[in-house]
């Protein structure tokens, strides 16, 4: 039985029982409790309920975009294309937010290599996004991929722990497998991914020059895309990423599942 409280001004008190019997016949699973208040109290309640309704109408659905980008030495050969591709992605996310005004997109952007991690963006509103340049992305060293995923995902999970109604899209982009992590092991990342996939988190893995699907499967990520490490291959990959993000936001609006089938074309080598 669902209990509903109804506030009635004193001037209508005589009709309370008539009203109660009527509405409980219409809503048999609800129990209505009527509270008699003065006219001034009723006016104050009306004002507060109006504010609550207005706040509810203005509240947007948050979508957190977490991008984890490999900055190891092997990415040096495609550095210019990575930078331009990311900047195009920035424009894509801005466009998606305009296309779906009921959604609020925030971006967290982390790059990583054996020298450390750099948080270039931390829950930045899409409207405030700026482009990156060659000074912010400087490939070097090796690939502590598990550490980068574990750190970035755990931080965002803690930051939005009080958000009960939001979606999270995690995008991992690398040209090689894990080879240098010291903080996290593969099993820990797998458990973390499996836990968060149950809570409206979607994980995607974009890679090249290694067995992308097999590696991603080991950490329970099934949304994968393989790209060619060339200018044309990178452009095709970022185009597919842009289209998939638009579809993802459309599914959120339509209240459809977004956990799987993120990419229409998973292998851009064929």
Kindly report which listed range (2-6, 60-64, 122-126) carries the lowest average pLDDT score. Answer: 2-6
Share of residues in the chain with pLDDT > 90 (%) = 73
Give per-residue pLDDT as tens, 240-255. Answer: 999 999 999 999 999 9
Mean pLDDT, the chain, whole residue set: 86
Whether the model clears a pTM of 0.85, i.e. scores above it, the answer is no
How many CB atoms within 10 Å of residue 29?
7
Could you tell me the residue ranges of all domains in the chain? 2-58, 61-253
In this prediction, residue 265 carries a pLDDT of 83
More confident site: 117 or 51: 117
Confidence of residue 47 (pLDDT cuts 50, 70, 90): very low
Residue with tokens 């931390």: 122
What integer pLDDT is reported at residue 269 of this predicted model? 77
The residue ranking higher by pLDDT, 188 or 25, is 188
Q: Is 248 exposed, middle or buried (0-12, 13-18, 19+ CB in 10 A)?
A: buried
Averaged pLDDT for residues 36-40: 58
pLDDT for residue 191 is more than 70 = yes
Q: Band of the pLDDT at 54, cuts 50, 70, 90? A: very low
Angle, vertex CA 262, rays to CA 220 and CA 118, nearest 5: 70
pLDDT over threshold 70, residue 101: yes
Task: Among 25-34, 57-66, 228-237, 252-261, name the one with the lowest average pLDDT.
Answer: 25-34
Taking the C-alpha atoms of residue 18 and residue 24, their distance in angstroms, rounded to an integer, is 10
Rounded to the nearest 10 degrees, how much is the dihedral formed by the CA atoms of 77, 237, 261, 209? -30
pLDDT score at 42: 47
Among the residue ranges 40-44, 188-192, 208-212, the one predicted with the least confidence is 40-44
The Cα–Cα gap between 50 and 7 comes to 14
Mean pLDDT confidence for 173-185 = 95
User: May I ask the CATH architecture of the domain 61-253?
Assistant: 3-Layer(aba) Sandwich (3.40)
Cα distance between residue 56 and residue 52, in whole Å: 6
> Strands 166-174, 61-70: parallel, antiparallel or unpaired by DSSP?
parallel
């Amino acid at each position: 039985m669902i209990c509903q409280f109804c506030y009635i001004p004193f001037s209508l008190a005589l009709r309370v029982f008539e009203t109660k019997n009527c509405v409980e016949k219409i809503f048999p699973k609800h129990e209505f409790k009527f509270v008699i208040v003065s006219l001034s109290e009723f006016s104050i309640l009306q004002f507060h309920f109006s504010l609550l309704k207005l706040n509810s109408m203005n509240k947007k659905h948050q979508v957190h975009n977490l991008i984890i980008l490999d900055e190891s030495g092997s990415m040096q050969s495609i550095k210019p294309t990575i930078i331009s591709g990311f900047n195009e992605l920035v424009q894509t996310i801005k466009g998606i937010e305009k296309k779906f005004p009921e959604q609020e997109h925030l971006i967290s952007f982390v790059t990583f290599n054996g020298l450390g991690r750099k948080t270039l963006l931390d829950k930045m509103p899409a409207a405030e996004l700026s482009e990156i340049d060659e000074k912010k992305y400087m490939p070097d060293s090796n690939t502590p991929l598990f550490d980068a995923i574990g750190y970035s995902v755990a931080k965002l999970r803690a930051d939005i722990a009080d958000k009960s109604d939001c979606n999270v899209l995690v995008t991992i982009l690398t040209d090689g497998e894990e080879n240098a992590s010291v903080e996290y092991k593969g099993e820990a990342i797998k458990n973390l991914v499996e836990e968060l996939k149950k809570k409206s988190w979607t994980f995607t893995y974009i890679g090249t020059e290694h067995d992308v699907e097999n590696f991603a499967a080991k950490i329970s990520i099934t949304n994968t895309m393989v790209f060619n490490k060339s200018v044309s291959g990178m452009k095709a990959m970022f185009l597919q990423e842009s289209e998939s993000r638009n579809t993802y936001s459309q599914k959120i609006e339509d209240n459809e599942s977004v956990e799987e089938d993120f990419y229409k074309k998973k292998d851009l080598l064929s």
